[in-house]
Every structure is written in structure tokens, then in C-alpha cells.
Structure 1
Amino acid sequence: MQYEPTLPADDDMDVAPGGVRTVLGDLAPEDLGICDAHDHLFFRSPRLPGEELVDVSAARAELAAFRSLGGGSVVQWTPYGLGRQAAHLPGLSRETGVRIVAATGLHQAVHYDEATLDGLRGRLADVFVTELTEGIGGSGVRAGLIKVAGGFHALDAHARWTMTAAAEAHHATGAPIAVHLELGTAALDVLDLLCGTLEVAPHRVILGHLNRFPDLMTQRQAASYGCHLAFDGPSRAHHAMDWRLPDALRALADAGFGDRLLLGGDTTTAAARSVDGGPGMPYLLRRLRPRLEAAVGADLMTRILTVNPGRAYGAEWA
């Protein structure tokens, strides 16, 4: 007998938000199509020397490969200072037909030099607001989300600084906040800070990498806040993600949280791109989607890939 998840009725969900801010302008949430809810077209960090995502032609090929499998949109979580190449994103979107959402925000401190961080002291929230409302680095390409990061099982001073700035920018603009959870940990600490102390509405928060710490109790507690849960990136040797993912999605759907779930590829290195022999963006649709459909049902997978991203990234922009 095929598994039938418990799906929330449409009238039990939050009211659908406003537009998703893509690099070509604001878009109705229902027009995203099949969405890779967390990935990277461009990424450059001193932590990954020699693995930079900087090649525009490779980014174009990756988007085309994703599009050929039915992909409609990609949310790039690359934040400030890590090689977003925002000026190239509109052209790539037009050429491939894939809608792209860009990010502002700030990653963990280890991704930056001290001069960069010192230059942002006292003005971080203003930088986020400017990139959300006017454009990134003079490109005119507006960001559609704020990406920040937690630490391993805790939040250090840098994480608290960036999340405080993100909350300030959210309150000024309505932008959603996406959070890198280090190895999937500290989800509840993040929510206590953002949704408790800083008063960000939970449905405006997306938690990433929950599959890297496959604790079903923590995942359910996080979902109960009302935030969105992103399961992103194919398994690595020490993550054991893919084989536990069906159980996690099934448990969360049965608990009534099927409208909170997102999937993404999180391609962060050149070797991980499909055009360079890795899984890349196509893996989400080529391998992961049919496997999950067999485990949790086609209806839930359709919601996860098409309906939920619009709800997570749509905003009533101020």
C-alpha cells in the first residue's frame, strides 16, 4: 500500500504571502515552479581554496541542466562578500528560463577577513536593507532574502550580531531570513533568538541543513515554532542524510508540518557541480525526487517543490 501523508488543508495554512523578490523583479509565489530552495551559482570563500564557483558559463550550464529536468527556480543563498556575482544573475535567468532569487546577509566569521568585518560594524542592518531595496553592489539587482549562520550547537557573538542585524532588516523590509545551521545544530537556539528575543514572525524564518543533524525530535520542535525547514544537499560520508530523509519528511508531514518543508541542492564547490562530474542541481530532480515520491507520495513532493518555496520566500515587501 502506498504511503499517504497527512497534509494540511489549504485553509489551515498561513495566509499566502506576497511576492518573491527575484533578480528580474517580484514574482507571484505560485509562479516559481519547481524550486531548488537552497543552492549556489557563485560562491567564493577562503575556507574552500581551489573550489570557487566563479565560472559564469558553468553556472549557465548548471541552470540549463536543472531546467531540462523541469526546474523552474533556484534560490541562491550566497551572502555578502562571498562572490555573489549579482550583475550576472539577470542575464543567466533570462538565458535559461530559470528564476533566480539572490541573497544579502553575512556568513560565519571564518569566511571573512577582519578588515571586511570591521568595515561592517555599526552599519550591517543598513547594508542588508540597501541590498534588499536598492540593489547589490550598484548592480540594481535586489536581494530576496537575508542569509545568516549559526554555530556548532551554539550561537557565538558573531552569530548574534548578524542575526540581530537580519532581524532589524526584516522588520524594515519584510524579507525572509534563511539560516545556515552548522552541521544542522542549534536550531532551537536560533529560533529562541530570532523569533523570541528579536520578534521575527516564525513563518519568515527558513532553517537550513536540518538533515545534517537528523534528530527527529529537534526537527519537530523547530517545525512547531512555525518556521520552514530546509533539507538541502546530497549525503556526504559523515552526514547520513539521504537515507534518513524519507523518515524525517514522513514524520513531519504526519505531525501536520507538510507545508513547512523545503528541498535544495546546496552546491558549494566546483567539484560538486553536475557539469564537473558531481551531483549538482539536477540531483534534486534526477535522483532525490523519485526516491522521495516513492517514500512519501507524489502529492507531498509536489507541495515541497512548488508550493512551499513560494510560501517561504514570498513577502509583503515594505
Structure 2
Amino acid sequence: MSAARPSTAAATTGGGVIRTVLGDLDPAEFGVCDAHDHLFLRSPRLPGEELDDPAAAERVLRAFAAAGGRALVQWTPYGMGRGASALAGLSRATGVHLVAATGLHQAVHYEPELLAGLYDGLAELFTAELTTGLRDAPAGVRAGLIKVAGDYHDLGPHTRRVMAAAAEAHHATGAPIAVHHELGTAAPDVLDLLCGQYGVPAHRVILGHLNRLPDLRLHRHLADSGAYLALDGPSRAHHATDHHLFDTVAALVEAGHVDRLLLGGDTTTRTARHSPGPTHLLTSVGPRLDREFGPGLSRRLLVTNPAEALAVPRSAA
């Protein structure tokens, strides 16, 4: 992994836009952001736990907006019930900017027949959803990032195929690539593949779930590459991510990586929706960050960094 960190100044000086479901947005207007969450999600691995209720999604967004939230990034990719037909209406109704994802998750979240029909045209699918519109949404509703996923301490054939397509779509559009890491593992392998083999700039990669593996030395090494680290999961009851969050933030802030950190709720099940959800980032996590690390840190992690991480060059918009 390269230790060089490209400048992200373009995102904050008019050089980029954020692609929301209602159109392209100046990053300065994006506001307080939950950088990794799910309003809709369906998987055969989670029977009975589907997030498929637009009314429930609207309640989540209204509560988030009432607490000061202005933007939410949904990492649910293609073929997992991402609620694409409802996203634009929800954004208009609640005033919350929504960013949708293209891409694919791990193979276990799909029927084999669906994947077999997609593999030969993955890069074209991802690129079209970023530039023309989501297949399952009204015309003009486009994705703003590419979601992919690693395996547990490994990158198998499906993963490598999807990541190759994601890299091709990135080069065609400039879109960031957001990565699910199974229990926080295989992040160095992901960067070696995406950045080393396929030439994706590290600052265009968002590494998710890393606080599920509380290896602070590894986190510093990954941040050195220039990639963004999404610390997510406070919506998950009885999950260890809450226990590690502030130690992880402290280690990375002390190492000079405050500009690499993003925060997200990552609500993935109907049961988890009864937990605090994205509002918790604003009412609990953000204030505590400012108390422990000084005023302004929560704004950096919830406003400035997401706007930079998600901006697409205007030339590619």
C-alpha cells in the first residue's frame, strides 16, 4: 500500500459534487452525515429481518433530521432490496440527502441464478447505475458510490470478480468504492487489490467495519494509505463496536488521521431498527467526541470528511 495521501481539497473548493438520489449536490450543502447505513435491505441470510417498510424508513429519517442530520449514505447494493423506488420520495419528504449504492455484496446474499446472469456485465451495470440510473428506480435516480465486500480473512473468486468490476466503474466515473470487511478483516488485501493491482487511488476507498477488529496498529497502517475508515455499528445491540469506538478514534486522532475517519450507524435488520439508529450518532456519539477530544471533532467526522470522501469530480459527473 502506498503511504502517499492525495489531497481532497477539490471536494471542498468546488471541484466535485456528491451524487444524491435527487441529483448532484455541492459538498458544502451536504451537512451532517451518517456515512454508512441502511434504510432498506433484504438477504436470504437474514430471514424475517428484512428492512422493507418505507413508512419505517421515513420515521428513521425524520428523527435523524430532527436531531440535526442532513445526509445518509445507504450502502445496500444491487439485488438486496435497496428500496430504490422509494428513495427519492423519502428524500423529498424528509429533507435528508440520500446517497444510493450500486455494487454487489458477498455471494451468500444472493441466489446463484442471479449472480450467474450478472457476472459478464458487472462493470457495465455498475457504471450505468452511476451515470444513467438505478435499474429498479424511477428514471434519473443514480447511485453515488459502489459497494463491495471482502470475505473473512480472504478474497475469494466472487469478491475478486466484483472488485475488478468496481475498479473499472470507478475509473469510468470517479465514484468512491465502499467496502464491507467481514468482522473487520482483509482490509490490507482489499487495498492491495483495488489500489495496487487496479490503480484505484486510496482516498477513493472507504473501508467499513474496521472497529469490529480492534487492531489499532492495523488501523493506523490503513489510514496511512490515504483510505477512509468508516467506524460503524452503534445501531447493533450487544455488538462490540461500541466498546472499541472511542479507543479507535483516540488512536487515529493521536496518529494524525482525523481526516480519514467517518461514522455510520449501519442498521441492517428489523430488530436493530429498534435500537438508537442514526440519531444516536448525533445525540450521543458526536457530543461525547467533542467532550473527549475537543470542540469540532464531531463536525470533522460527520460533516467535513463525508463530503470529501463522497465527492465525484465534476468532469466525471
Range of TM-score over shorter length: over 0.9
Rate the CA distance shift 1:237–1:66 in 2: closer, same or farther, 3 A: closer
Is the Cα–Cα contact under 8 Å of residues 78 and 147 in structure 1 kept in the other structure? yes
Farther-moved stretch of structure 1 (73-82 vs 130-139): 130-139
Where structure 2 has 5 or more consecutive residues not aligned to the other structure, the ranges are 1-5
Is the Cα–Cα contact under 8 Å of residues 246 and 295 in structure 1 kept in the other structure? no
Q: Which residue of structure 2 lines up, in the alignment, with residue 89 of structure 1?
A: 87
Q: Which residue of structure 1 lines up, in the alignment, with residue 102 of structure 2?
A: 104
- CA distance in 1 between counterparts of 2:212 and 2:246 reads 14
User: 1:107-162, CA deviations, whole angstroms, 9 ceiling, x for partnerless residues?
Assistant: 00000011000001210000001100110115221000000000111111111111
Among candidates 21, 24, 29, match of residue 23 of structure 1: 21
- CA distance in 2 between counterparts of 1:72 and 1:128 reads 26
Farther-moved stretch of structure 1 (228-237 vs 37-46): 228-237
Calculate the TM-score normalised by the size of structure 2. Answer: 0.93
Is the Cα–Cα contact under 8 Å of residues 33 and 73 in structure 1 kept in the other structure? yes
Among candidates 271, 282, 285, match of residue 285 of structure 1: 282
Q: CA deviation at 1:235?
A: 7.1
Question: What letter corresponds to residue 54 of structure 1 in structure 2?
Answer: D
Question: What letter corresponds to residue 113 of structure 2 in structure 1?
Answer: A
SS in structure 1 at match of 2:296: helix
Q: Which residue of structure 2 lines up, in the alignment, with residue 307 of structure 1?
A: 304
Is the Cα–Cα contact under 8 Å of residues 147 and 178 in structure 2 kept in the other structure? yes
Does residue 139 of structure 1 match 2:138? yes
- CA distance in 2 between counterparts of 1:306 and 1:224 reads 21
Q: Which residue of structure 2 lines up, in the alignment, with residue 56 of structure 1?
A: 54
- CA distance in 2 between counterparts of 1:246 and 1:211 reads 10
- CA distance in 1 between counterparts of 2:242 and 2:119 reads 39
Q: Which residue of structure 2 lines up, in the alignment, with residue 203 of structure 1?
A: 203
- CA distance in 2 between counterparts of 1:302 and 1:270 reads 29
SS in structure 2 at match of 1:143: coil
Q: Which residue of structure 1 lines up, in the alignment, with residue 261 of structure 2?
A: 261
SS in structure 2 at match of 1:151: coil
Is the Cα–Cα contact under 8 Å of residues 235 and 242 in structure 1 kept in the other structure? no
Q: Which residue of structure 2 lines up, in the alignment, with residue 7 of structure 1?
A: none
Is the Cα–Cα contact under 8 Å of residues 184 and 213 in structure 1 kept in the other structure? yes
- CA distance in 2 between counterparts of 1:135 and 1:173 reads 13
> Among the aligned pairs, what percent are the same residue?
61
- CA distance in 2 between counterparts of 1:87 and 1:244 reads 36
Question: What letter corresponds to residue 83 of structure 1 in structure 2?
Answer: G
Question: What letter corresponds to residue 139 of structure 1 in structure 2?
Answer: P
Q: CA deviation at 1:255?
A: 1.5
SS in structure 2 at match of 1:221: helix
Question: What letter corresponds to residue 245 of structure 1 in structure 2?
Answer: L
Where structure 1 has 5 or more consecutive residues not aligned to the other structure, the ranges are 1-11
Q: Which residue of structure 2 lines up, in the alignment, with residue 248 of structure 1?
A: 248
- CA distance in 1 between counterparts of 2:92 and 2:239 reads 36
- CA distance in 2 between counterparts of 1:102 and 1:63 reads 15
- CA distance in 2 between counterparts of 1:115 and 1:235 reads 32
Q: How many residues align?
A: 304
- CA distance in 2 between counterparts of 1:49 and 1:239 reads 20
Does residue 14 of structure 1 match 2:8? yes
Rate the CA distance shift 1:229–1:248 in 2: closer, same or farther, 3 A: same
SS in structure 2 at match of 1:26: strand
Q: Which residue of structure 1 lines up, in the alignment, with residue 222 of structure 2?
A: 222
Instruction: Give the RMSD, CA atoms, in angstroms.
Output: 1.4
Rate the CA distance shift 1:159–1:283 in 2: closer, same or farther, 3 A: same
Is the Cα–Cα contact under 8 Å of residues 235 and 277 in structure 2 kept in the other structure? no
Q: Which residue of structure 1 lines up, in the alignment, with residue 3 of structure 2?
A: none
Q: CA deviation at 1:247?
A: 1.9
Is the Cα–Cα contact under 8 Å of residues 263 and 301 in structure 2 kept in the other structure? yes
Q: Following TM superposition, where does structure 1 have runs of at least 4 consecutive aligned residues deviating by more than 4 angstroms?
A: 235-239
Question: What letter corresponds to residue 291 of structure 2 in structure 1?
Answer: A
Is the Cα–Cα contact under 8 Å of residues 235 and 267 in structure 2 kept in the other structure? no
Q: CA deviation at 1:13?
A: 4.7
User: 1:1-36, CA deviations, whole angstroms, 9 ceiling, x for partnerless residues?
Assistant: xxxxxxxxxxx9532331010001111112111000
